[in-house]
Amino acid sequence: MKIVAICGSGIGSSGILKVNAERVLKRLALEADVTAAHLSSLSCDAADAQVILTSAEFVDAIGPTNADVIVIENYFDTEELARKLEAALG
């Protein structure tokens, strides 16, 4: 499974989401390749992703996709991330 964390520049908030998603997946005993990417590389980086993690401000820019787009309100809240990933993957 491939999960892509998206933000405007590909280094700040997407990096935080990547690290926290990896922690949550480990806790949930789920395996996935998690990458951080910027919005302009979305078509390449997320073309085969099953899940896209992002903030509400980037949802419209993502456009049509086969991936589940999960909006994360608080990037530091691993409980929110765990709930939303379990709902999408379970």
**Cα–Cα separations (whole angstroms), residue 56 to 5, 26, 31, 70:** 13, 25, 25, 9
pLDDT at 11: 66
Structure tokens at 23: 């922690």
Q: Find the domain containing 17 and state its range.
A: 2-81
46, 65 contact by CB (below 8 A)? yes
Structural domain includes residue 63: yes
Please report the DSSP string for 55-76 in residue order.
-GGGHHHH-S-SSEEEE-S-TT
Structural domain includes residue 77: yes
Q: What is the CATH number of the domain that holds 41?
A: 3.40.50.2300
Provide the domain count of the chain. 1
Structural domain includes residue 31: yes
Average pLDDT of the chain? 89
Do strands 68-71 and 51-54 pair parallel, antiparallel, or not at all (unpaired)?
Answer: parallel
Q: Answer yes or no: is pLDDT of 60 > 70.
A: yes
Model confidence over 29-52: pLDDT tens digits?
Answer: 999 999 999 887 777 777 889 999
Structural domain includes residue 8: yes
